[in-house]
Amino acid sequence: MVQAIFLTTVLGGTACLVAAITVARFNWRSDVPPFIQVSSAFKVLARPSSYVVAPTVPLVRALTLIGYGLLGIAFICLAYQLFTDLSK
């Protein structure tokens, strides 16, 4: 059961983060240098209002929070499995 939750949350979290980057790239502000010149995707996801047009900022933020939340749950599942396996 823990493995199914882990796989689901890892895949879902990764899909949400990829979707957030995709939405950000398709709605890039014209007064900001292109995505390739920005140093990392983390900067774009951390401050989408600096890089993305205003109407899509809430969507990028929501996808980012959901993605990081799901990856956090996956990490908790991994830690739980490690703890239960080592305590046997």
Task: Write down the pLDDT at residue 40.
Answer: 81
Q: Percent of the chain, pLDDT > 70?
A: 98
pLDDT above 70 for 39: no
Alpha-carbon gap, residue 80 to 74, rounded angstroms: 10
Q: Is 1 helix (H, G, I), strand (E, B) or coil?
A: coil
Q: 22: which residues sit within 8 A by CB, 6+ positions away?
A: none
Number of domains observed in the structure of the chain: 1
pLDDT tens column, 52-74: 999 999 999 999 999 999 999 99
Q: Are 3 and 50 in contact (CB under 8 A)?
A: no
Q: How many CB atoms lie within 10 A of CB 45?
A: 20
Alpha-carbon gap, residue 85 to 5, rounded angstroms: 17
79: domain range? Answer: 2-86
